[in-house]
Amino acid sequence: MSTSTNAQKLPEAFTDFKPSIKVASPGRINLIGEHTDYNNGFVMPTAIDKKIYFEFKENGTDSTCRIYSATYNAHLEFDHNNLSISEKSWENYVLGVTNEIKVLGKSLKGFDCIIKSDLSTGAGISSSAALECGFASGLNALFDLGLSKVEITQLSQKAEHNFVGNKCGIMDQYASVMSKQDHIILLDCESLHAEYIPADFKSCKLLLLNTNVSHNLADSEYNTRRQECEAAVEVIQKKYPEVKSLRDVNLEMLEEFKAQLEGKQYQRARYVIEENERVINATTAIKAGKLNEFGELMYGSHDGLQHNYEVSCPELDFLVEFSRDKDYIYGSRMMGGGFGGCTINLIEADKIDEYVVEAAEAYFKKFNIKLDTIAVSPSEGTIVEKL
Ligand code: GLA
């Protein structure tokens, strides 16, 4: 059971708040490798310099937990021995994390927590994972739970599955917690082996353009895509029992099953197999400083997401299209789950201002919606400070 209220001002429990733990928990970008994580494939994310900030302290009770979110200007109080799913979406991230910690048999006491954020929600930069992982990291430090960083990512992912209802992969949580300053991660989502690659884009920068739309298809279609991929694997497994996920399937093998796969299963699987290949090729291109090649792979990723995986939307497609004839933009693609949020662009740094004005004008003319930019730079994962 939990109670929640909209707080007009800081509730009394939070005035004169002396935290013993502080956490800074970042959002993430993903350079390439979309919808591959839950198919045990490859992704290339990193944390960004936009974060959710937490302050924690014990409150002397056995089990009363009080949280104040400055972002939602809301107060939540619950008993960690009596947890249930809330109707308010943001609450389920913290309730879900608390629940997963209890499932692991860890013991908690009562605590107070203040949450502030400079991460936009709905922009596809994973404020969700930042909230889950930051909260979990704070409780881990406050109560010496002995959870490793990877365990924090995994329990946060479970919280999202079980309390929020989104069957997400591990990418966002992993990037938020495990990233290293000025590096991108080539993450193998099957083994969780991570290779840290220096984020060296020469005279270019990564630029996010926020469509400021978030179509409500996102959650249901996300889970449907996951089911379509799993259904394709089940068909293939009948002949090839060693196949555990689309990670183990190549295009030649997939062709064998074209006639047996139902609905859109073939095209979904094809996209995932091709995208995994693009991530590997992108790694080689980035390491060799071949930004043109990497950019082409970004466009290829977008085409696949738009036409085969069908998780894009007109606003994202417009922005990617708009970038195509600009020789100072090497690549552009939708980023994250899709149906809104941001495009990620690899662009010559000295052209950013000019381009943003041009793109925003065209975008407004077409959709009557303001275009926002989010400046990002590859940053360190979660930072926990004991005071
Ligand atoms: C969301 C999910 C991730 C990942 C991306 C798509 O951000 O949380 O696990 O699947 O979508 O790549």
CB 193 within 8 A of CB 233: no
Residue located via tokens 């992108």: 282
Query: What is the sign, positive or negative, of the torsion defined by CA atoms of 216, 232, 234, 241?
Result: negative
Segments of the chain assigned E as strands: 2-6, 21-30, 42-43, 45-58, 64-69, 74-79, 111-117, 183-188, 193-198, 204-214, 329-334, 340-348, 372-375, 383-386
Quick: pLDDT tens for 154-163.
999 999 999 9
Cα of 126 from ligand 1 centre, angstroms: 8
Asked if pLDDT for residue 145 goes beyond 60, the answer is yes
Quick: pLDDT tens for 344-373.
999 999 999 999 999 999 999 999 999 999
Closest among 313, 306, 323 to 360, alpha carbons compared: 323
- pLDDT, residue 11, reads 74
Closest among 13, 35, 33, 28 to 223, alpha carbons compared: 35
Distance CA 208, CA 343 (A): 6
pLDDT classification of 257: cutoffs 50, 70, 90 = very high
pLDDT classification of 14: cutoffs 50, 70, 90 = confident
Quick: pLDDT tens for 47-62.
999 999 999 999 999 9
Cα of 255 from ligand 1 centre, angstroms: 26
Given 79, 144, 172, 372, the catalytic residue: 172
- pLDDT, residue 20, reads 97
Residue located via tokens 């290779």: 195
For residue 191, which amino acid is it? Answer: S
Helix, strand, or coil here: 372? strand
| Ligand 1 site-directed mutation target among 40, 93, 168, most atoms within 8 Å of CB | 168
Average pLDDT over residues 235-255: 97
Q: How far lies 63's CA from each of 77, 82, 333, in Å?
A: 10, 9, 46
Which residues form the pocket of ligand 1, taking CB atoms under 6 Å from any ligand atom?
Answer: 34-35, 37-38, 126, 168-169, 171-172, 336-337
- pLDDT, residue 6, reads 62
Clarify whether 248 is annotated catalytic. no
Distance CA 323, CA 347 (A): 10
Cα of 336 from ligand 1 centre, angstroms: 5
Distance CA 362, CA 197 (A): 35
- pLDDT, residue 321, reads 98
- pLDDT, residue 86, reads 94
Q: Tokens in use for 51?
A: 């974060």
Quick: pLDDT tens for 28-45.
999 999 999 999 999 999
pLDDT classification of 375: cutoffs 50, 70, 90 = confident
Segments of 107-260 assigned E as strands: 111-117, 183-188, 193-198, 204-214
pLDDT classification of 249: cutoffs 50, 70, 90 = very high
